[in-house]
A and B are shown apart, each in its own frame.
Chain A
Amino acid sequence: MDRAAAGPLACGRRMRMIISLDMFHFSSWRPRGPDRCRPCLKLATIVVTATLASGCSTGATPLTSEAPLIAVGAENEYANVIQQVGGPYVHVVAIMSNPNTDPHTFEASPTVAREVGNALLVVQNGLGYDTFMNRIEAAAPSSRRKVIDVRQLLGLPKTTANPHLWYKPGVMPAVAAAIARDLAILEPAHASAFDRNEHRFVVSLEPWDRAILTFRAHYAGVPMATTEPVADYLLQALGAKNLTPWSLQADIMNGIDPSPEDVATERNLLAEHRVKVLVYNQQVTDRLTQSFIQLAESHGVPVVGVYETMPTPGYDYQSWMMAEVQALQRAVESGISTMRL
Chain B
Amino acid sequence: MGWLSLLASLPSNEAVRTAVLVGGIAAATSSAVGVFAVIRGQSFAGHALADLAATGGSGAFLLGVNQFWGFVAVAVGAAGFMEAAGVERRRGRDVATGIVQGAGLGLAALFLYLAAQTTTRTGATFTVLFGSMFTIDPSGIPPLLGAGSVALSTILVLSRVLLLSALSPELATVRGVPVRAVSISYLIVLAMSVALSAVAIGAVLSTALLVGPAATALRVARGPIQAMAAAVAIAVGATWLGIVLAYVSYAWPPLGHGWPVSFFVVTLVVLPYALTHMFRRPRPRALSTAQSSASVPQP
Contact = CB atoms under 8 A, between A and B. Distances in A.
Interface residues of B, number: 35
A257 interface: yes
B122 A263 contact: no
A284 to B, nearest CB: 5
Contact of A286 (B121, B246, B256): B121
B247 interface: yes
Contact of A264 (B15, B117, B137): B15
Contacts of B13: 260-261, 263-264
**In the complex, which of the residues A107, A256, A267 has the most CB atoms of chain B within 10 Å of its own CB atom?**
A256
Contacts of B246: 260
A144 to B, nearest CB: 32
Nearest to B258: A259
B16 A256 contact: no
A264 B14 contact: yes
B122 A286 contact: yes
B116 A263 contact: no
A105 B250 CA distance: 26
A337 interface: no
A262 B256 contact: yes
A288 interface: yes
A263 B126 CA distance: 18
B123 A255 contact: yes
Interface stretch (A96-104, A160-168, A189-197): A96-104
Size range of the interface on A?
A: 20 to 34
Contacts of B212: none
A106 B113 CA distance: 9
B117 A283 contact: no
A312 interface: no
Given A256-B126, A261-B258, A262-B256, A100 B250 contact: no
A320 B107 CA distance: 38
B260 interface: yes
A7 B123 CA distance: 40
Contacts of B113: 107
Given A260-B247, A261-B247, A264-B13, A102 B122 contact: yes
A53 to B, nearest CB: 23
A262 B6 CA distance: 12
Interface in A248-303: 251-252, 255-264, 267, 282-288, 291
A255 B258 CA distance: 14
Interface in B180-229: none
Nearest to A308: B120
B257 interface: yes
Nearest to B134: A260
Nearest to B15: A260
A258 B132 CA distance: 9
**In the complex, which of the residues A245, A258, A261 has the most CB atoms of chain B within 10 Å of its own CB atom?**
A261
A100 B126 contact: no
Contacts of A287: 135, 137
Interface in B115-167: 116-127, 132, 134-135, 137
B137 A255 contact: no
Nearest to B66: A287
Contact of B116 (A102, A256, A261): A102
Closest 3 CB pairs of A and B: A259-B258, A255-B123, A105-B116
26 contacts: A100-B120, A102-B119, A102-B120, A102-B121, A104-B122, A107-B113, A107-B116, A246-B256, A256-B123, A257-B123, A257-B132, A259-B134, A259-B258, A260-B15, A260-B19, A261-B13, A261-B247, A263-B13, A263-B15, A264-B12, A264-B14, A264-B15, A286-B121, A286-B135, A287-B137, A288-B135
Interface of B: 1, 6, 9, 12-16, 19, 113, 116-127, 132, 134-135, 137, 246-247, 249-250, 255-258, 260
Given A100-B119, A286-B135, A291-B137, 15 more contacts: A101-B119, A105-B116, A255-B123, A255-B125, A257-B123, A257-B127, A259-B256, A259-B258, A260-B16, A260-B258, A263-B135, A264-B9, A267-B14, A286-B122, A286-B123
